[in-house]
Amino acid sequence: MAQLFSLGIIVQTPPPIFFFADLVVGQFSSGVYPSGGGEIRYEPFRGSGHLQLQTAFKAAGGAACYFKRDGQSVAFRVVGCPQYGVLTITDLIDESHDA
């Protein structure tokens, strides 16, 4: 986790995690949320979220995911998984600005 140091107080910032169908999948390896599409490294968490994402992706050729940034949902689509720990994503949409 990233740390901020202000006035002698260490504040932990939450890791950049993402979700599939409200289930946590993993966290982005870079320590920050992606700002565009492409190949993104991630650290999958053990659990049903990662398993269900992979199952949905293989069945449909893509899967809708999201993350929360500054309290706002940002949706994206997983369209590839070229190797373990790497996802190909597209269509980042900040849902707070979607009209």
Q: Which residues does 6 contact at the CB level (< 8 Å), separation at least 6?
A: none
Identify whether 59 is part of a domain: yes
Number of domains in the chain: 1
CA dihedral in degrees (61, 36, 15, 80; nearest 10)?
20
Q: Write down the pLDDT at residue 16.
A: 96
Q: Is the pTM above the cut of 0.85?
A: no
Mean pLDDT, the chain, rounded, equals 88
Supply the range of the domain harboring residue 81.
16-94
Structure tokens at 25: 């999948």
Look at residue 53 and tell me if it is in a domain.
yes
75 within domain boundaries: yes
pLDDT (tens digit per residue) in 4-40: 555 666 666 778 999 999 999 999 999 999 999 999 9
Q: Is residue 90 part of a domain?
A: yes
Residue 25 belongs to some domain of the structure: yes
In-domain check, residue 1: no
Q: Counting Cβ atoms within 10 Å, is residue 84 exposed (0-12), middle (13-18) or buried (19+)?
A: exposed
The H or E element spanning position 9 is: strand 9-12
